[in-house]
Amino acid sequence: MLALAAGGAAAQAFEGEVQRIDKAQGRITLRHGELKPLDMPPMTMIFRVADPAMLDRVAVGDRVRFDAAKVGGQYTVTAIAKAP
């Protein structure tokens, strides 16, 4: 069960699908729905990941739940897991 923190910047759970994984660069390409807290419409985009080890837990084609934030000016995935 995912807890959604209303109005909180830290604990949002977004939905997406993995399009590409670049472990060497610590990046993941996700097709995501609307991300209201980040003011983003649905799109496919590249995110930095907070920890490259996160990329071992997902594969291209997986539907995922993830958290993201703007860190140092870059959109960064801070948590990710396969969707149940």
Q: Which stretch binds Cu ion (CB under 5 A): 10-18, 43-51, 58-66, 76-84?
A: 43-51
Best CA proximity match to 68, nearest among 7, 25, 11, 8: 11
What are the phi and psi torsion angles at 44 (to 5°)? -110, 130
State the residue for tokens 């490259």.
52
70 near Cu ion (CB under 5 A): no
Q: Which stretch binds Cu ion (CB under 5 A): 9-17, 19-27, 44-52, 54-62?
A: 44-52
45 near Cu ion (CB under 5 A): yes
State the residue for tokens 């390409």.
29
Interface positions with Cu ion (CB under 5 A): 40, 43, 45
